[in-house]
Amino acid sequence: MRFATDTGGTFTDLVVEDDEGAIRLYKAATVPSDPVKGVLDALTLAAEDRGMDLPSMLAKGELFIHGTTHAINAIITGRTARTALLVTKGHRDMMIFREGGRLEPFNHAALFPKPFVPRSLTFEVEERLLAGGEVQTGLDEAHLLGVIGQLRAAKIEAVAVCLLWSTMNPAHELRVGELLAEHLPGVPVSLSHAVNPTLREFRRASSTAIDASLKPIMSRYMGGLTQRLLDAGFAGEVMVLTSSGGLMAGQDVAEHPVRIINSGPSMAPIAGRHYTNLDAPGSSVIVADTGGTTYDISLVRDGIVPMTRELWIGEPILGQLVGYPSVDVKSVGAGGGSIASVDAGGLLHVGPASAGSVPGPVCYSRGGTEPTVTDASVVLGYVDPDFFLGGKMKLDHAGAYAAIAEKIAKPLNISVELAAWHILQLATQNMVQAIVDITVAQGIDPARSVLIGGGGAAGLNSVFIARKLGCETLIIPETGAALSAAGALMSDIVSEYSASLFLSTASFDFGKARAALSNLRSQCDAFAARSGADAGSTDISVIAEARYENQVWDIDVPVPGGRLDTDADVAAFREAFDRAHETIFTIRDSGSQVEIVGLRATVRCKLREEANFRLASEEGTVDRPATRKTFFEDSGWTDAAIHYLEKLPVDQDNHGPAIIESNFTTIVVDPKATFRRTPSGSLIIHP
Amino acid sequence: MTKQMNGAELALLNSAFEGVVRKMSNTLLRTGRSGVINRGKDFSCCIVTRGCELLAVADSLPIHVLSGPDMMAEAMHRFHPTLKAGDAYLNNSPYHGCSHPADHTIIVPVIDDAGVHHFSVVAKAHQADIGNSEPTTYMPAARDVYQEGALIFPAVKVQSDYEDIEDIIRMCEMRIRVPKQWRGDFLAMIGAARIGERELIELAREHGWDKLHMFERQWFDYSETRMAEAIRAMPSGKVTGTSRHDPFPGLPEDGLTVKAEVEIDATEGRIVVDLTDNADCVPSGVNLSEACARTSAMIGVFNSLDPKVPKNAGAFRRLDIRLREGCVVGKTPHPFSCSISTTNMADRVANAVQTGIATLNGPWGMAEVGAGLAPSLGVISGIDPRTKQVYVNQIMLGFSAGAATSVGDAWQTTAHLGNAGMCYIDGVELAELYQPMVLRKREFLMDTEGAGRYRGASSTVVEFGPVRGTFDVGYCSDGHENPPKGVCGGGVGGKSDQWIETRDGERKFLSPIGVNPVGRDEMLIAVSTGGGGYGSPMERDADVVAEDVREGWISSERAKSVYGVVLSADGAVDAAATAELRRL
Contact state of A200 with B421 under an 8 Å Cβ cutoff: no
**Amino acid (one-letter) located at B566:** V
Distance from CA of A452 to the nearest CA of B (A): 22
DSSP per position, A47-79: HHHTT--HHHHHHT--EEEEE--HHHHHHHTT-
Choose the closest CB to B15 out of A106, A108, A433. A433
Would you call A582 an interface residue with chain B, using a CB distance cutoff of 8 Å? no
Decide: A466 and A687 in contact? Cβ < 8 Å: yes
Distance from CA of A110 to the nearest CA of B (A): 9
Of A252, A198, A287, A284, the C-alpha closest to A543 is A198
Taking chain B, what is the end-to-end CA distance rounded to the nearest angstrom?
Answer: 71
A548: which residues sit within 8 A by CB, 6+ positions away? A581, A589, A592, A593, A594, A595, B33, B184
* Mean pLDDT score, B122-141: 94
Would you call B305 an interface residue with chain A, using a CB distance cutoff of 8 Å? yes
Instruction: Return the residue of B nearest to A340 by Cα.
Output: B8
Pairing of strands A11-17, A83-88: unpaired
φ/ψ of residue A645, rounded to 5: -50, -50
Distance from CA of A380 to the nearest CA of B (A): 16
Contact state of A344 with B226 under an 8 Å Cβ cutoff: yes
Distance from CA of A492 to the nearest CA of B (A): 32
Chain A 438-457, residues with CB within 8 Å of chain B CB atoms? 440-441
Of B382, B393, B387, the C-alpha closest to B520 is B382
Write out pLDDT tens, residues B360-385: 877 888 999 999 789 999 999 999 99
Sign, Cα dihedral of B189, B192, B198, B203: negative
Residues of B in contact with A104 (CB under 8 A): 307
- Would you state the CATH architecture of domain A80-99+109-213? 3-Layer(aba) Sandwich (3.40)
Answer yes or no: pTM beyond 0.90. Answer: yes
Instruction: Return the residue of A nearest to B304 by Cα.
Output: A106
User: Of B194 and A443, which is predicted with more confidence?
Assistant: B194
DSSP state of A163: -
Which residues of A150-230 form beta strands (DSSP E)? 158-162, 189-191
Of A273, A431, A264, the C-alpha closest to A352 is A431
Chain B 166-205, residues with CB within 8 Å of chain A CB atoms? 181, 184, 187-188, 191, 195
* Mean pLDDT score, B493-505: 96
Decide: B85 and B52 in contact? Cβ < 8 Å: no
Chain A 148-167, residues with CB within 8 Å of chain B CB atoms? 164-165
Contact state of A587 with B31 under an 8 Å Cβ cutoff: yes
Decide: A375 and A366 in contact? Cβ < 8 Å: no
- In chain A, which residues have pLDDT < 70? 292, 357, 533-536, 586, 609-612, 617-622
Rounded Cα gap, residues A208 and A256, in angstroms = 10
| Three-class secondary structure of residue B19 per DSSP | helix
Residues of B in contact with A92 (CB under 8 A): 443
**Amino acid (one-letter) located at B388:** K
Of B363, B322, B352, the C-alpha closest to B235 is B363
- Whether residue B2 has pLDDT greater than 60: no
Rounded Cα gap, residues B198 and B191, in angstroms = 11
Rounded Cα gap, residues B38 and B535, in angstroms = 38
CA distances from B447 to A450, B272, B543 (A): 57, 37, 17
Instruction: Return the residue of B nearest to A104 by Cα.
Output: B59
CA distances from A391 to A273, A603, A621 (A): 32, 45, 14
Of A489, A490, A492, A494, the C-alpha closest to A543 is A494
Order of strands across the sheet that contains B523-527: B437-444, B460-466, B523-527, B497-501, B507-509
CA dihedral B444, B450, B455, B460 (to 10 degrees): -10
A432: which residues sit within 8 A by CB, 6+ positions away? A465, A468, A469
Would you call B34 an interface residue with chain A, using a CB distance cutoff of 8 Å? yes
Chain A 316-375, residues with CB within 8 Å of chain B CB atoms? 342-349
Choose the closest CB to A108 out of B11, B188, B407. B407
Task: Give the relative orientation of helices B344-358 and B290-302 as an angle to the nearest 10 degrees.
Answer: 30
- Whether residue B395 has pLDDT greater than 70: yes
Contact state of A130 with B432 under an 8 Å Cβ cutoff: yes
Which residues of B21-155 form beta strands (DSSP E)? 43-49, 54-57, 88-91, 103-111, 117-126
Choose the closest CB to B30 out of A100, A202, A553. A553
Sign, Cα dihedral of A51, A54, A60, A61: positive
B242: burial class by Cβ within 10 Å (0-12, 13-18, 19+)? middle
Which helix (H) or strand (E) segment holds residue A206: the answer is helix A201-231
Write out pLDDT tens, residues B433-475: 889 999 999 999 999 999 999 999 999 999 999 998 999 999 9
Instruction: Return the residue of B nearest to A165 by Cα.
Output: B429
Residues of B in contact with A342 (CB under 8 A): 7
Rounded Cα gap, residues B420 and A105, in angstroms = 5
Distance from CA of B142 to the nearest CA of A (A): 30
CA dihedral B267, B270, B273, B277 (to 10 degrees): -60
Pairing of strands A473-476, A449-454: parallel
Torsional class of A177: left (φ above 0), alpha (ψ -120 to 50), beta (otherwise): alpha
* Mean pLDDT score, B172-182: 94
Q: What are residue A21's DSSP bridge partners?
A: none
What is the 3-state secondary structure of B416-450? CCCCCCCCECCCHHHHHHHCCEEEEEEEECCCCCC
Residues of B in contact with A90 (CB under 8 A): 439-443, 463
DSSP per position, A633-680: TTTEEEEEEEEEGGGSPBT--EESSEEEE-SS-EEEE-TT-EEEE-TT
Contact state of A587 with B191 under an 8 Å Cβ cutoff: yes
Choose the closest CB to A412 out of B8, B181, B188. B8
Interface with chain B: mutation pick from A421, A464, A550, highest number of B CBs within 10 Å: A550
Mean pLDDT of chain A: 91
Residue B293 is predicted with a pLDDT of: 98
Instruction: Return the residue of A nearest to B467 by Cα.
Output: A130
Would you call A618 an interface residue with chain B, using a CB distance cutoff of 8 Å? no
Residues of A in contact with B19 (CB under 8 A): 433, 436-437
Contact state of A106 with B424 under an 8 Å Cβ cutoff: no
Task: Give the relative orientation of helices A141-153 and A171-183 as an angle to the nearest 10 degrees.
Answer: 50
Contact state of B432 with A429 under an 8 Å Cβ cutoff: no
Decide: B308 and B360 in contact? Cβ < 8 Å: no
Cβ pairs bridging A and B (under 8 Å): 207
Contact state of A552 with B38 under an 8 Å Cβ cutoff: yes
- Whether residue B500 has pLDDT greater than 90: yes
Burial B325-349 (b: 16+ CB within 10 A, else e): eebbbbbbeeebbbbbbbbbbbbbb
Choose the closest CB to B407 out of A90, A109, A423. A109
Rounded Cα gap, residues B177 and B474, in angstroms = 15
Of A65, A515, A4, A62, the C-alpha closest to A250 is A65
Rounded Cα gap, residues A492 and B89, in angstroms = 53
Residues of A in contact with B552 (CB under 8 A): 119-120
Residue A402 is predicted with a pLDDT of: 97
Residue A624 is predicted with a pLDDT of: 80
Given CATH 3.40.50.300, say whether it is the number of domain A2-75+218-260. no
Write out pLDDT tens, residues A223-273: 999 999 999 999 999 999 999 888 899 989 999 999 999 887 888 998 999
Distance from CA of A130 to the nearest CA of B (A): 7
Task: Give the relative orientation of helices B69-79 and B290-302 as an angle to the nearest 10 degrees.
Answer: 150
Q: What are residue A312's DSSP bridge partners?
A: A321
DSSP per position, A228-254: HHHHTT--SEEEEE-TTS-EEEGGGGG
Would you call B31 an interface residue with chain A, using a CB distance cutoff of 8 Å? yes
- Whether residue B171 has pLDDT greater than 60: yes
φ/ψ of residue B482, rounded to 5: -125, 70
Domain ranges within chain A, ordered by starting residue: 2-75+218-260, 80-99+109-213, 338-426, 492-605
Decide: B91 and B153 in contact? Cβ < 8 Å: yes
Would you call B302 an interface residue with chain A, using a CB distance cutoff of 8 Å? yes
Q: What are residue A562's DSSP bridge partners?
A: none
Contact state of B191 with A119 under an 8 Å Cβ cutoff: no
Pairing of strands B471-476, B513-518: antiparallel
ipTM of the complex: 0.94
Residues of A in contact with B305 (CB under 8 A): 106
Task: Give the relative orientation of helices B7-31 and A416-442 as an angle to the nearest 10 degrees.
Answer: 10
Domain ranges within chain B, ordered by starting residue: 7-223, 366-537, 542-583
Choose the closest CB to A425 out of B12, B226, B411. B12
Chain B 546-575, residues with CB within 8 Å of chain A CB atoms? 550-553
Burial B427-441 (b: 16+ CB within 10 A, else e): bbbbbbbbbbbbbbb
Residue A450 is predicted with a pLDDT of: 95
Interface with chain A: mutation pick from B428, B454, B458, highest number of A CBs within 10 Å: B428
Structure confidence at residue B1 as a pLDDT band (50, 70, 90): very low
